[in-house]
Amino acid sequence: MMAHDAHRSFAMNEPPAVAPARWSWRALYWAPHRLAFALACALLMLSSLWWLNVQLARSAWLPEALVWPLVWYPTLVHGAVMTYGFVPLFFLGFLYTAGPRWLGIEGPTARQIAPGLWLQGLGWCGWLLGAQLGGTVALVGGAVAWLGLCVGLWHLLAMLRQSRVADQVHARVIAGAWGLGLLCLAGMLLALAWDQPSLARAWLTSGLWGFVVVVYVTVAHRMIPFFTSSALPMISIWRPLWVLLFLLLAIALRLLMVWVEWLEWELRLWAALGSFWLLVSGMVLLGLAFVWGLVQSLRIRLLAMLHIGFLWLGLAFLIDSIGHFWMLLSGDAPWTLGAMHAITMGFMGSLLLAMVTRVSCGHSGRLLVADRLVWSLFWLLQLATVLRVVSDLVDLRYLLGLTLAAALLWTLALLPWALRMLRWYGLPRIDGRPG
């Protein structure tokens, strides 16, 4: 019976004997990463174009007839879909591909994971629609997406239960972060239902740090040294567990600072200590980037994208630290948004572009390289990140213009890439192999 089920499970992911020459929806069910990544790319494009429209409307560059009416917390809608929308779908595509190898098991099929993925994709579409139609629509969409994320966690836990390998640290950290992310998303939705946007923002920021950033650094800790050693044999795999623990401790402190600031506690000593720890964390992360082979990686584009993306994490901690020190000295607001966009656009965006490109190339029968298009789009993304970070540091007169420019460059960088990836997922592998 088990052999029959295993054969059936493989067959459900196997393309038909005569693969269609044109793009086909059926191809999305040939492998788990295809459907997850395809939905993520579609949602990435939709959310990016939606936010660009918001920025154009704010800058009065669009005719009034073309402006979508925004009636419900556009900044929170943007933050939530950029944190919880397409990113977890990319996570799942990667985890359903690499996770079974980490854990020594046979992973779920695309059809088994499809309901959770579709719930997330459709739920976040409803969330964006709610920005125009009202909070009820948005909250229903967010709740549907939350259910989809619950299904994702259920599959991750099922994979862990099946595994008998000794090293499950990275997978267990990711599963724990996923549970925390569900808690934070539920808290955000409830706060918005109670019309408490400040509390909702705290929950959203907590989800960013406690869920998304934790998953990113955990995967980076496992995969960046591995990828680097594979491409550059002179660099050995160096990823001691204490490095991961340090990264998680740095994130935990930043998460605690979110709630201290929301509670508006006047703890100058705490703020000074927190700022100092952010500074130390940033310096350690920059050092780790060089230890992991930042300089050597620059000769290989796809590898360089990973390392440059990780460099943004250290820079984000430094920006956050300096901004909080500046707040203590001057009384001005900290550079929170600048640091946040260094994390989201620089660190997360760069690693997303690199990791998804690598997985998609490998599982479509292509060479594991970043061609001229991907390399150019990557640097366009870096420029968008710099502009968005700088916009938090300059005079308010320049804020709208720089934010619009950053949103435009982000869209120009990610839209062609997402369209290309989406096309690949609906086509058979170019080497004729299944998957």
**How high is the pLDDT of residue 226?**
83
Look at residue 271 and tell me whether its pLDDT is greater than 70: no
C-alpha distances in angstroms, 7 versus 4, 102, 434? 5, 22, 14
Looking up tokens 């292509």, which residue turns up? Answer: 366
Q: What is the pLDDT of residue 291?
A: 85
Percent of the chain with pLDDT over 90: 62
* Average confidence (pLDDT) over 226-255: 83
User: Is 267 or 103 the better-scoring residue by pLDDT?
Assistant: 103
Write down the pLDDT at residue 269. 63
Q: Distances from the Cα of 283 to the Cαs of 202, 414, 417, 419, in angstroms?
A: 26, 30, 32, 37
Cβ-count burial of 79 within 10 angstroms (0-12 exposed, 13-18 middle, 19+ buried)?
Answer: buried
**Which pLDDT score is estimated for 109?**
93
12 pLDDT band, cuts 50/70/90, is very low
The rounded distance, in Å, linking the Cα atoms of 110 and 96 is: 9
pLDDT for residue 170 is more than 70: yes
Mean predicted confidence (pLDDT) in 291-314: 89
CATH for 25-425 is 1.20.210.10
Q: What is the pTM of this model?
A: 0.90
3-state secondary structure of 131: helix
**With the C-alpha atoms ordered 158, 185, 140, 52, is the resulting torsion angle positive or negative?**
negative
Q: State the pLDDT confidence band at 134, using cuts at 50, 70 and 90.
A: confident
Sign of CA dihedral 238, 218, 91, 52: negative
Distance of alpha carbon 289 from alpha carbon 13, whole angstroms: 38
Q: Give the mean pLDDT of 194-202.
A: 95
Mean of pLDDT values over 226-244: 79
**What backbone phi and psi angles, to 5 degrees, belong to 225?**
-60, -35
Cβ(55)–Cβ(67) below 8 Å: no
Distances in whole angstroms, Cα of residue 418 to Cα of each of 17, 40, 412: 28, 9, 10
Residue 193 has pLDDT above 50, yes or no: yes
| pLDDT, position 3 | 36
Average of pLDDT values for 18-41? 86
**Mean per-residue pLDDT, 313-317:** 93
pLDDT of residue 93: 95
Mean residue pLDDT of the chain comes to 88
Model confidence at 235: pLDDT above 80: no
Least confident of 206-220, 285-299, 336-350: 285-299
Percent of the chain with pLDDT over 70: 90
pLDDT for the residue numbered 392: 84
Mean pLDDT over 115-130 rounds to 96
Return the pLDDT at 376: 97
Per-residue pLDDT band at 260 (split at 50, 70, 90) = confident
Query: pLDDT by residue (tens digit) across 62-93?
Result: 776 666 667 788 999 999 999 999 999 999 99
Residue pLDDT, tens place only, 357-405: 999 999 999 999 999 999 999 999 999 999 999 998 887 788 889 999 9
Rounded CA-CA distance 51/404 in Å is 9
Q: What average pLDDT does the segment 208-223 reach?
A: 95
Mean pLDDT score, 157-162 = 95
**What local confidence, expressed as pLDDT, does residue 435 receive?**
75
pLDDT value at residue 6: 35
Give the position of tokens 């760069």: 350
Residue 281 CA to its chain's centroid (Å): 21
Instruction: Name the most confidently modeled range: 13-27, 34-48, 292-306, 307-321.
Output: 34-48
Average pLDDT over residues 115-142: 94
